[in-house]
Structure 1
Amino acid sequence: MQKIPVVAIFDVGKTNKKLFLFDEHYKIVYERSARFLETVDEDGEPCENLESLRLSVFDSLRDVFKRNEFEIKAINFSTYGASFVYLDEDGKPLTPLYNYLKPYPEALQQQFYATYGGEEAFSKATASPVLGSLNSGMQLYRLKYEKPEIFKKLKCALHLPQYLSYLISGEFYTDITSIGCHTNLWDFATGDYHDWVNQEGIREKLAPLKGADEVLPACFPGNSYKVGIGLHDSSAALIPYLVNFHEPFALISTGTWCITLNPFNTAPLTSEELKQDCLSYLQYKGKPVKASRFFGGYEHEQQVKRIATHFNMSSVVFKTVAYEPDLIQKLITEQAPSATTLSDGKALPTSGFAERELTSFVTGIEAYHQLILDLVAQQVASSKLVLQGTGVRRIFVDGGFSKNAIYMNLLAAAFPDKEVYAASMAQATAIGTALAIHQHWNTKPLPNDIIELKYYAIAHQEA
């Protein structure tokens, strides 16, 4: 029997840890999922169980290597970001895998920014808003000052995707997509590590940089498969779009956060953009991507519950509400528009729908149309921050709101000079991680049919 050539992709989220096998047409031919109980660090803060994750990688691989129908050509990894594994001389972890939501000591944070030029100037240079532990470089700074004896033993700090790659390749490397995403480590103006990384003795604890499209040999004798060095999941999810579309586009990725990614905006972040929750990160080829975001998916979830309770409806109803243009016109005429910024110019974290009295709406469906109107106003304000002056002609929307007819129609109306598409693709992060190393395992040309698009034409009102 002819074996099917496949790539194995580990897609490690906070909750679900998945292994996919893709064939050369990027179809999923095998899938395995695991979930682990969190453990706690020495301060009692919840964190990933690193040992369970390590064992799971080996167990999963053992399982697929036993399957005679597949020939594994390569393995790659994508995981959530902002998480370092600290390894000693023997490649063993020195600490738990600290959670990026762990509160950061205020005094240490003030010491850092006071030493390195203040929050505003430093954030502009590193394209990193002040996010505490979510700036993963700050975790290294904390280790140095709070646990100097461990810092002294530290041979190499690897972001989580590179740690998983090390388990199979036996080699230490650093990936630009992990370093270049709000870590405080990278100076976007110089295209190198920020000066503080050298001054604090951090750079010598970081592995050499290697391209996200390069591969390593496996460290187990007798195996011919290649090992990728791993990617940050947000960057991986953008790769299918970068591979398929070459004219300027933006991607609005909608989930708990609604994030607008513009790979064609390479202008340095301004103080104004930082205030409005913009950041830049580096995509897998090392180019900057400017991004803006707001908490749209979370707000939608909370406000749907409020509407459902007030009108005594099931919240399930709101999953498939049809777009009613007449209702939108009525609301635009009768309801005050929602604000999208505060008086000091900072972006509002929410759309303002929470302040609306539900008694001013006749039905739950009417209230829901207003919620989406308010969210799209916020979305447009957020997206424009990274779209302006970049020649983007197409906007792709993926995630939850791509299936919302009201949101999509209103977004198309708000950008009449652009083509707006709902995009759908199963397992975008995993496919992007496989595409990054396509040339090393796949004998077929890059695919051009893995993203399904639905075009939303602008609905013109009748006179």
Structure 2
Amino acid sequence: MTASSNRNIAVIDIGKTNAKLVLLGGNGQLIDTRSTPNRSIELDVGGTTILAHDTERLWKFILDGLRAFEAEYGVGAISITTHGATAALVAGDELALPVLDYESPLPETCAQAYALARGEFEETLSPRLPNGLNLGAQIFWQAQSFPDKFARVTAILTYPQYWAWRLTGKRASEATSLGCHTDLWNPNTGDFSEVVVQQGWRALFPPVKPAAAVLGHITARVAVETGLPADTPVCSGIHDSNASLVPYLTRFQNPVTVISSGTWTICMTLGGSTAALDKERDSLANVDALGRPVPTARFMGGREFDLLVPNYAEPSAADIAFVIEQQVQAYPSFVAGVGPYGQRRGEWSVDKSVLTEGQRTAAATLYLAHLTRAALGLCGVGEAIIVEGPLARNALYCRALTALTERPVHASQDSTGTSFGAAVLCCEDLPQAPLPAAFPPLVVQGFKNYSEGWEKKTKNL
């Protein structure tokens, strides 16, 4: 591996909402972290306004953070993890086009043309998603809309590998980023899909390398700007949801479900079957760091929670009892086009304005638990469930999920979330804390009827 157990590992962790730089020690402990909002910017490209990632601001954030980490603690290796559905179209040593935000709307005419060009779900296990959530749709639109600029493209780099390229000057492709609802990858064959070949893009993708592979050492320029040693190794990088799976790839013999939470709530069942995946309900196959298909179902849990709960208040036992007794329900979906019920507009069963902040928080939390159970019906549920990220700190969510699934639910105590999994790529023997005891199930009078009411309401959605 690239880093011995006594080296500090810097992880570049670019989520959709926030970007972080995390420093972990050789014993797995969190040493330091820095963060910045990951705000997109509107740019005019040939008379067309697009929503793009502010890569130069992020690059400055990365270099500044690495410089500070090196000066105070020392950095022995760098790993990278980012959100999916994003790629850089590179022309030589620069961008041919800005890095498109997957939430940038694509014209309907493009969507119709791409629908005819993309492969079948049975090949890619990638459903058609809105805007640019299918990376193939972004590339297709850019090729059609900016043919002169696209003709200059010498490489298509998925997002973790874009940052790895900026750090090392070396180019690679990687399966977890190619296999996250992009339409570009066939998870069963472990190779590019037919649309890549038919569109003439195959030669633009660099050779595929494992996420844990050392792509190279930092460039001389990066060494000067950060003070890092010139031989600092950089791993090729990994898709963030799949980074959450890395610590569990060899830890369990039986199927296990990992729920990665943040802007997205991603339910992934290692060792599970892809047979129940439904392209109409935002379920798909991801690809893990070992190249294996992982049945996955997802929804924008963090974003929905923020919409449902403008002012968070820790719910009391009385708040929870009131919500359950009075059947205060939120029904999906509050983010259009994604999740098991993405075609339906969300609603409350009561006038939400009469609820206290604690009651509203309790109802929204139970909503996420029920939505998670619906997602698990698509990707399968393992013999145990491990919750990562913000939802791991929500005891009501974990207890409700225990009751709803009748499975032990463990909350990961790793405060760095996906960053730890990315760090494991650099140091295979990085110690992981044992899982805490499973949550007791939620036992509140009327909860069974409450749950049955939610199921009845959503049964035919």
TM over 0.5: yes
Measured after TM superposition, the shift of residue 176 of structure 1 is 0.8
User: Is residue 79 of structure 1 aligned with residue 82 of structure 2?
Assistant: yes
Other-structure match for 1:429: 418
Q: Which amino acid aligns with 1:98?
A: L
Deviates most, 58-67 or 77-86: 58-67
8 A contact 2:212–2:237 mirrored in 1: no
After superposition, give the CA deviation of every residue in 1:217-251 in whole Å (9 maximum; x if it has no partner).
31546733221011111211222333544432112
User: Is residue 154 of structure 1 aligned with residue 144 of structure 2?
Assistant: no
Alignment size in residue pairs: 424
After superposition, give the CA deviation of every residue in 1:415-458 in whole Å (9 maximum; x if it has no partner).
22x2122333211111111101214xxxxx34131x65242234
Q: 1:115 to 1:40 in 2, by over 3 A?
A: closer
Deviates most, 346-355 or 138-147: 346-355
Q: CA RMSD in A?
A: 3.4
After superposition, give the CA deviation of every residue in 1:27-60 in whole Å (9 maximum; x if it has no partner).
2223333457644322333322223333443444
8 A contact 2:315–2:362 mirrored in 1: no
Residues 381-396 of structure 1 mapped to structure 2, 5 A cutoff: 381-387=374-380, 392-396=382-386
Residues 55-454 of structure 1 mapped to structure 2, 5 A cutoff: 55-67=60-72, 69-70=73-74, 72-89=75-92, 91-116=93-118, 122-131=120-129, 132-218=131-217, 220=219, 223-242=230-249, 244-268=251-275, 270=277, 273-305=278-310, 315-316=311-312, 318-322=313-317, 330-331=325-326, 335=327, 347-349=340-342, 354-358=347-351, 372-387=365-380, 392-416=382-406, 418-439=407-428, 445-449=429-433, 452-454=435-437
Output the CA distance in 1 between the equivalents of 2:261 and 2:38. Answer: 26
8 A contact 2:78–2:426 mirrored in 1: no
8 A contact 2:328–2:348 mirrored in 1: no
Output the CA distance in 2 between the equivalents of 1:366 and 1:393. Answer: 32
List runs of 5+ in structure 1 lacking aligned partners. 306-314, 440-444
8 A contact 2:396–2:442 mirrored in 1: no
Q: 1:171 to 1:459 in 2, by over 3 A?
A: closer
List runs of 5+ in structure 2 lacking aligned partners. 221-228, 334-338, 446-461
Measured after TM superposition, the shift of residue 193 of structure 1 is 0.9
Q: 1:167 to 1:379 in 2, by over 3 A?
A: closer
Output the CA distance in 2 between the equivalents of 1:133 and 1:378. Answer: 24
Output the CA distance in 1 between the equivalents of 2:343 and 2:317. Answer: 24
Q: 1:372 to 1:92 in 2, by over 3 A?
A: closer
Output the CA distance in 2 between the equivalents of 1:73 and 1:362. Answer: 51
Name which one, 1 or 2, has greater alpha-carbon Rg. 1
Overall identity of the aligned pairs, in %: 27
Q: Which amino acid aligns with 2:266?
A: I
TM-score (ref. length: structure 2): 0.80
8 A contact 1:81–1:232 mirrored in 2: yes
Other-structure match for 1:309: none
Output the CA distance in 1 between the equivalents of 2:12 and 2:363. Answer: 40
After superposition, give the CA deviation of every residue in 1:95-123 in whole Å (9 maximum; x if it has no partner).
21121111112222222322456xxxx23
Q: Which amino acid aligns with 2:121?
A: S
Output the CA distance in 2 between the equivalents of 1:460 and 1:17. Answer: 38
Output the CA distance in 1 between the equivalents of 2:388 and 2:78. Answer: 26
Output the CA distance in 2 between the equivalents of 1:103 and 1:353. Answer: 21
Other-structure match for 2:54: 49
Q: 1:461 to 1:111 in 2, by over 3 A?
A: closer
Deviates most, 51-60 or 205-214: 51-60
Output the CA distance in 1 between the equivalents of 2:318 and 2:173. Answer: 47
Output the CA distance in 2 between the equivalents of 1:15 and 1:369. Answer: 24
Output the CA distance in 1 between the equivalents of 2:169 and 2:353. Answer: 63
TM-score (ref. length: structure 1): 0.80
Measured after TM superposition, the shift of residue 349 of structure 1 is 4.1
Which SS does the other structure have where 1:133 is aligned? coil
User: Is residue 31 of structure 1 aligned with residue 33 of structure 2?
Assistant: yes
Output the CA distance in 1 between the equivalents of 2:308 and 2:14. Answer: 30
Q: 1:300 to 1:87 in 2, by over 3 A?
A: closer
8 A contact 2:124–2:185 mirrored in 1: yes
